[in-house]
Every structure is written in C-alpha cells, then in structure tokens.
Amino acid sequence: MTKYALITGASSGIGYNLAIELLKRGYKVIGCSPPQVIFEQKPLEEEYGLISIPLDITNVENIKSVHEEVKKITNNQLSILYNNAGISMAGPAIEMDEKRLDKLFQVNVLGHINMTKWFAPMVINTKGTIVFTSSIAARVPLSWVSAYNSTKAAIDAYALTLHGEMAPFGVRVHSVITGGVDTAICDANVCSALGDSYYDVPGVYDSMNASAMMSRDVNISPQKYAKEVVRDLMKWRDPGFNLYHGARSYFVHWVSRYLPLWLVEFGVQFHFKQLRVLRTIAKLAKLGRFTKREQ
C-alpha cells in the first residue's frame, strides 16, 4: 500500500532534503511551496517522482483547494503531514514593520495551524504523524529576532497541546527543536541600515549581521539533518514529542532549562556581539540621550 507524505516549504533547504529522504524510503511525497518558487522542486519531480503542488499557506482558500486535490491523490490517506515552511525577519523588538510581522506569523504559525486543521482527518485515517519544524529560537532569546523566536515558541506550544489531543486517534505529533542547519532561512536578515532607531549605535550592524549568519556559522548540512529526523520518524517506538536535531539543539535546550536567565542572556548577547550595543545604549539612556528622533 502506497504511503503518502505532504511537506510544506519543499523547494529548498530542510524541506527539500526531507522530501528526498522520504522518497528514498518509498513514500509518495507531495511537495508544496509558493507558486513563485515551485519550479525549484523540478529536480525532485524528475529524479524521484515528487508531486509538486503550488500552495500559499497564508491563504486559507488555497489550503482548502489543495486539500481537495490531495484528498483525491491519496484517496484520503495521508501518513505524514510535515509543517515545515518558514521565513524569518530581524530587527529590534519594538521596531518591527507591521506588514512583515503579520506575514511572519501568517507563514510560521497560522499557516501551519490551518494546514493541520484541514489535513489532520487524512492523517487520522492512517494513524499517521504530524510534524512541525520548530527551533532553538523557541528556547532562548536569540539576538534581534524576537518575532521569529516567538513564532517558533508559538508553534511548539500549539504542537504540544495537539500532541495530547491527537493521541486518542493513534496519531503521533512531533515538534523538531532545530539547531544550526546550513540553510538560507536567515540570509535576508543581513542589515545595513536601521533608519530612525533607538538602536542605531556603533556595533549594531555587526551584531545584527552576526545574528543573521547564525545558521551559516555553527551547523550541520540539511542532508544530515533530514536523515536524522526521518530516522526518528520511522522508529517503531515513539521517540517523544520534541526531537532535537541540528548543531547544538539539545545543548541550547538544556541551557534554557537549567541556567538562570541572566546567564543565558549574557551568553547569547556575547556570542552575537550585542553586549557592546546594549551597553552603549544604556550609557546614552542614563544621560537622557537617544538616537531615535521624537515622533
């Protein structure tokens, strides 16, 4: 009997390599990505027989139409729903652009919740698995990406409750706490100008760019990450709710649980060159001086 898996964000990085691993294990994989990048899945179609379906998970009507298409393809039987799609944005927590912030939550949180709502019945039919790509960003205050951090914490919390609610149906739910993986998720966060900001002081651009390169700094390859995750998913015995993969994933989780916040903050701020920036701002604030102009 053919087993089907659906992966969102399958056009690159983690999603692309997850598709390869599942295809190699005999799954018929449906790869969903936004229309403007769906062409990047063409090599998987030609080499492995991937089924590509354009999907904007921020559009509920689009989700509904794809649901009907997938229902026909799979005969209403979906073994794995892998909610992987994600984007990032950077900047000081109190100065986020509203439109970009809304898009971030639509993709990273609401899109996955809506996907799960519509596709969960197909997974129930197979007593299958629902997976979410979360992050160590859900555990520690990574510098300058507060909004991204909060989306990963939000989807991890959603998945945690879903875990209990799906158990009576024999459906497994996993949230993968992802450490460093060599992907382009944060490449667009490189910053060369803040404009009118409280934080426009010496060192801020070096700090923000250090944060933007976090996935390019200490990491494992997306191929290795995908192999490790799929190996867990294939286990006969449930490996547990949170799966830890990617460089330093479990270490960061351990740090967040057992070390005091002040020490975690210091370590993160030191690593991403943020200490100098915050100390400069603290000195200016004591003098009543701010780089941001009054509104």
List the catalytic residues.
11, 148, 152
Residue 265 is which amino acid?
E
Separation of alpha carbons 184 and 266, rounded Å: 26
Separation of alpha carbons 21 and 223, rounded Å: 8
Separation of alpha carbons 20 and 253, rounded Å: 28
Residue 32: phi and psi, rounded to 5, are -115, 130
Non-local (6+) Cβ contacts of 216 within 8 A are 182, 186, 187
Separation of alpha carbons 93 and 9, rounded Å: 26
Separation of alpha carbons 78 and 3, rounded Å: 7
Separation of alpha carbons 38 and 69, rounded Å: 17
| Owner of token pair 């921020």 | 58
Residue 289 has which token pair? 């001086």
Separation of alpha carbons 260 and 183, rounded Å: 30
Helix/strand/coil for 167? helix
Under 8 Å between Cβ of 229 and 294: no
Neighbours of 112 (CB within 10 A): 25
Separation of alpha carbons 76 and 70, rounded Å: 8
